[in-house]
Amino acid sequence: MKKVLIIGGGIAGLTVANALKMRGAETLLIEKSTRTGGAIRTVSRDGFLAEGGPQTFVAEEKKLFDFLRAAGILEKTVEAAPAAKKRFIVRGGRPCVVPMSPVSAVTTPLFSLPGKIRLLAEPFVPAKRDGNAESVANFVRRRIGSEMYNYALNPLVAGIFAGNPEALDVRFAFPKVWNLEQRYGSLIRGSFPNAKAKKASGLYEKKRTLSFPQGMETLPKMLRANLNPSDVRIHSEITNLVRENHGWRAHWRSRAAVCTFFEEDAFFDEVVLASPPRTWSEIPFRDEKLQTLFADVPALTTPPVTMLTLGFPRERVAHALDGFGMLVPEKENRKILGTLFTSSLFPGRAPEGFVTLSTYIGGSRQPEMTALSAEEQLKIVREELETLLGVKGEPAFVERVENPQAIPQYNLGYEKFAAALAEIESAFPLRFAGNFRGGISVAQTMLSALAVAEKITA
């Protein structure tokens, strides 16, 4: 039976720990803060519910569903309301519905006629198959034109990565889309055979946008509850990690009370690093070669994002809020990245007669916005919501959550980061799991964590 030390108790670390336990391994999870869950946290107050991190997670991979079933979690999920399929993008200062059918794609005011014609020319654009890095912005402009970039992709990147499409590397940020060009030479021509191949593979189930009645934090809470209490140490840190035989001798200390620690040590066959890359220098690996390899791992940019969830009486909001939310393109020169209509997605987000709106500010586009005072941010968000959604008056509920280093960016140069991790993994019984590799979403992070557990027990 393998003994594995997991450093970091976000969704990645908790998933690795659960998957290893299911496979018969022994694990110890060390979390630095006073809670597990990392970026996933939910606040409930006065009948309102606000997420500080992810609002939903989207599952379609059979592997993920199997894991959620085995962990007893799937049955506790709630699926987003059907209205969530409708999405809005702001153009000309008002939210426009994103077309989801060929007819609405022709009639939508979101794109001009030349923009639509340029999109239809996509199958005739030659494929770029040199394997070289390309920014997401260049890729999209090259394949479907500038207008689609400005009013479809640019806001989407703000919504997913809170990042800069001119800096993100399409090969790592959107590998499925990039692969369509590599494989079929065109995104439009490739979409049908790709969907067919996906269905035939048996690796996917029906795509579902999920959360929980008590919010997203139920997910890490349930994963933690599946572990033995003694296998999770919060408020703890590694004080020494030394190579011993074919594994590691780890020393750690846990805070018992103010100024009181207790220290422990144990042998582990493998270590999984599931904490953010910016924190890796805190782990005292006592191995010269490993230290040199870590010194060569390039830093990833992680722009700040602040999330403001505001609650209003329903009658104070003019917009029907009949969708997932609205994203704001950079071209619109507004001060928010987007707003999710959170009480339209899942029940229990607001008391009867009230609604909640969760607005993101900052990101790579306007990091300076996150440095403003809470009052200034609230004023800006209220002004934007009034203009874009017709929201009037004082909010009945305000919850503000800062994420000073929100999401790692897979920017140009990312391949050096990926190669450096692969080199470390090939030379040491040390593995990496987290949103810094294999995708930043909750589902992608869990899937890459499951792959790590599989490798360890293979």
Question: What is the closest distance, in whole angstroms, from the C-beta atom of residue 47 to ligand FAD in the complex?
Answer: 22
Judged by beta carbon, residue 190 or residue 277, the one nearer ligand FAD is: 277
Q: What does each C-alpha distance from 148 to 41, 107, 110, 178, 388 come to in angstroms? A: 34, 15, 10, 16, 21
Max Cα–Cα distance, the chain, nearest Å: 68
Judged by beta carbon, residue 111 or residue 360, the one nearer ligand FAD is: 360
Residue list 41-70, contact with ligand FAD (CB under 6 A): 53-57
Interaction between residue 366 and ligand FAD (CB under 6 A): no
Radius of gyration over every alpha carbon of the chain, rounded to an integer in angstroms: 23
Residue 385 and residue 94 in contact, taking contact as beta carbons nearer than 8 Å: no
Interaction between residue 445 and ligand FAD (CB under 6 A): yes
Judged by beta carbon, residue 28 or residue 144, the one nearer ligand FAD is: 28
Interaction between residue 307 and ligand FAD (CB under 6 A): yes
- Residues with Cβ within 8 Å of 48's Cβ and at least 6 positions away in sequence, in order, are 309, 311, 349, 350, 351, 354, 356, 397, 399
Question: What is the closest distance, in whole angstroms, from the C-beta atom of residue 39 to ligand FAD in the complex?
Answer: 4
Judged by beta carbon, residue 150 or residue 359, the one nearer ligand FAD is: 359
Judged by beta carbon, residue 148 or residue 272, the one nearer ligand FAD is: 272
Question: What is the closest distance, in whole angstroms, from the C-beta atom of residue 267 to ligand FAD in the complex?
Answer: 19
Residue list 209-268, contact with ligand FAD (CB under 6 A): 237
| Candidate list 20, 110, 272, 305; residue touching ligand FAD; CB under 6 A | 305
Residue 252, helix vs strand vs coil? strand
Q: How far apart are alpha carbons 39 and 54 in whole angstroms?
A: 8
Single out the segment in contact with ligand FAD by CB under 6 A; choices: 2-10, 64-72, 91-99, 382-390: 2-10
Long-range contacts of 416-423 (CB under 8 A, 24+ apart): 416/298, 417/277, 417/297, 417/298, 417/300, 418/172, 420/293, 420/296, 420/297, 420/298, 421/297, 423/293
Interaction between residue 32 and ligand FAD (CB under 6 A): yes
| Candidate list 11, 25, 140, 421; residue touching ligand FAD; CB under 6 A | 11
Helices marked H in 23-153:
62-70, 102-107, 113-120, 136-144, 146-148
Which of 173, 182, 111, 176 has the alpha carbon at shortest distance from 136? 173
Judged by beta carbon, residue 232 or residue 442, the one nearer ligand FAD is: 442
Single out the segment in contact with ligand FAD by CB under 6 A; choices: 35-43, 139-147, 285-293, 320-328: 35-43
Residue 311 and residue 397 in contact, taking contact as beta carbons nearer than 8 Å: yes
| Candidate list 228, 279, 281, 291; residue touching ligand FAD; CB under 6 A | 279
# residues contacting ligand FAD (CB under 6 A)? 37
- Residues with Cβ within 8 Å of 360's Cβ and at least 6 positions away in sequence, in order, are 158, 159, 162, 305, 306, 307, 336, 337, 338, 339
Interaction between residue 303 and ligand FAD (CB under 6 A): no
Q: What does each C-alpha distance from 46 to 41, 218, 349, 351, 398 come to in angstroms? A: 17, 19, 11, 8, 11
Judged by beta carbon, residue 68 or residue 407, the one nearer ligand FAD is: 407
Judged by beta carbon, residue 7 or residue 84, the one nearer ligand FAD is: 7
Question: What is the closest distance, in whole angstroms, from the C-beta atom of residue 29 to ligand FAD in the complex?
Answer: 9
Question: What is the closest distance, in whole angstroms, from the C-beta atom of residue 446 to ligand FAD in the complex?
Answer: 9
Classify each residue of 33-60 as buried b or exposed e, where b means 16 or more C-beta atoms within 10 Å of its C-beta.
eeebbbbbbbeeeeebbbbbbbbbbebe
Question: What is the closest distance, in whole angstroms, from the C-beta atom of residue 159 to ligand FAD in the complex?
Answer: 9
126 token code pair: 């030659």
Element (H, E) at 346: none
| C-alpha 236: how far from chain center | 25
Judged by beta carbon, residue 357 or residue 442, the one nearer ligand FAD is: 442
Interaction between residue 407 and ligand FAD (CB under 6 A): yes
Interaction between residue 434 and ligand FAD (CB under 6 A): yes
Contact residues toward ligand FAD (CB under 6 A) are 7-13, 30-33, 38-40, 53-57, 237, 274-276, 279, 282, 305, 307, 403, 406-407, 434-435, 440-443, 445
